[in-house]
Structure 1
Amino acid sequence: MLEIRWHSRAGQGAVTGAKGLADVIAGIGKEVQAFATYGSAKRGATMAAFDRFDDSPILNHEKYMEPDYVLVIDPGLTFIADIFENEKPTTKYIITTHLTKDELIAKKPELKTKEVYIVDCIKISLDTLGKPIPNAPMLGAFIKISNILGIEEFKSAFKKVLGKKLPQQVIDANMFAIQRAYDEVK
C-alpha cells in the first residue's frame, strides 16, 4: 500500500489535490482512499489530507498511517507541524519552499537525515494561476518523485478530473503548473 500525507492550510487545495490524485489513480485500476482532517474550519487553519493506493481493497479507514510520502504545501508548516509523525525510514518529503535545500536543512536540521525534495509551489501557482493555491504544482512534483505515472499520462487523466468543474483556461494553467513543478523539483 502507498500512503501519502499532505500538510497544508485550509484553502490551499490539499483536499482537492488528494481527491484529484485518487481519481487519477483509481482510473488505472487501483483501490484508493482520499480524506482529510481539519482543526478549525476556517480558511488558513492547519489541516492534513491523506491518500492511500493499493492493488487490493483498502480496509484501513483510520487516519493513522506510516506515510511513504509527506507533501508539505505550506512552507511554514515545515516548522510548526509534526511532518515526521509516524514516518518510516524510507519516507520521502516534498516541501514547498523558496529556500535552497541547504538553507532549509539549516533551519530544520531534522531534515538532514531524510530524503527531501524541494520546489517553490507557491511561486509556481502565483506565476501560472495568479493565486497562491499550490496543490497542482505539488502534484507535478509528486509525480516526478514517485514515478507512479508518466507526466503526460497523469496530465491527460487529471485534465478529465478538472474538466468536470473548471473552464479550459484554468485547466490549461493547472497543466502548466504541474509541468513546471515536475521540471523544477530538486
Structure 2
Amino acid sequence: MIEIRWHSRAGQGAVTGAKGLGDVVSTTGKEVQAFALYGSAKRGAAMRAYNRIDDEPIINHEKFMRPDYVLVIDPALAFTDNITENDKPETQYVITTHMSKEELIAQIPELQDKKDRVHVVDCMQISMDEIGRAIPNAPMLGAWVKVSGMFELDFFLDAMKRVLAKFPQKIIDGNMRAITRAYNEVK
C-alpha cells in the first residue's frame, strides 16, 4: 500500500488535490482513499489530507499512517509541523519552498539524515504564475508525479483534464501548465 500525507493550510487545496489524485488513481483499477482531518476548518488553519493507494481493497480507515510520501504545500509548515512524524526509512518528501534543497535542510534538523529523499519546488510561485492564485495543489501533484514515477506525465495530465472538466478552459489550462512546470522543476 502507498500512503501519502499532505501538510497544508485550509484553503490551499490539499483536500481537492488529494481527491483529484484519488480520481486519477481510480481510473487505473487500483483502490484509493482520499480524506482529510480538520481542526477548526477555518481558512488558514493547519490541516492534513491523506491518500492510500493499493491493488487490494483498502479496509484501513485510520488516520494513522507511515507515509511513503509527505507533501508539504505550505512552506511554513515544513518548519512548524512535524513533517517527519511516523516516517519510514524510504519516505520521500516534496516540499514547497523558494529555498534550495541545501538551504531548507540546513534549517530543519529532522531532514538532515534524509537529504537524498527531500525534493523541493516552489509550488506557490508556480501557482501564482500559471493559475493566478496561490493554490499550490496542482503544482504539488506535478512534483509528486515526477518523484513517485507512478504515472507518465501525459497520462496524468489527460486524467486531470477529466477531473477538472467542470471548470472553464482557462482554469484547466493554467492547472495543466502548473502541473507540467512543477514536474519539470522539482529537484
TM-score exceeds 0.5: yes
TM-score normalised by L of structure 1: 0.98
Identity, in percent, stands at 65
Structure 2 Cα separation of the partners of residues 58 and 183 of structure 1: 32
Amino acid at match of 1:141: A
TM-score normalised by L of structure 2: 0.98
Contact 2:12 2:137 in 1 (8 A): yes
Quote the residue 1:135 is aligned against.
137
Structure 1 Cα separation of the partners of residues 65 and 22 of structure 2: 16
Amino acid at match of 1:159: K
Quote the residue 1:98 is aligned against.
98
Quote the residue 1:18 is aligned against.
18
4+ residue runs of structure 1 moved beyond 6 angstroms?
Answer: none
CA RMSD of aligned residues (A): 0.5
Amino acid at match of 1:104: L
Quote the residue 1:172 is aligned against.
173
Stretches of structure 1 that go unaligned for 5 or more consecutive residues are none
Give 1:110 deviation, angstroms.
1.7
Structure 2 Cα separation of the partners of residues 108 and 45 of structure 1: 22
**1:7 correspondence with 2:28:** no
Task: Work out the number of aligned pairs and report it.
Answer: 185
Q: Secondary structure at the match of 1:58?
A: coil
The residue correspondences of 1:132-171 to structure 2 (distance < 5 A) are 132-163=134-165, 165-171=166-172
Quote the residue 1:52 is aligned against.
52
Give 1:109 deviation, angstroms.
2.1
Q: Secondary structure at the match of 1:166?
A: coil
Quote the residue 2:63 is aligned against.
63
Q: Secondary structure at the match of 2:127?
A: helix
Superposed CA deviations along residues 21-49 of structure 1, whole A, max 9, x for unmatched, are: 01000100000000000111110000000
Give 1:106 deviation, angstroms.
1.2
Stretches of structure 2 that go unaligned for 5 or more consecutive residues are none
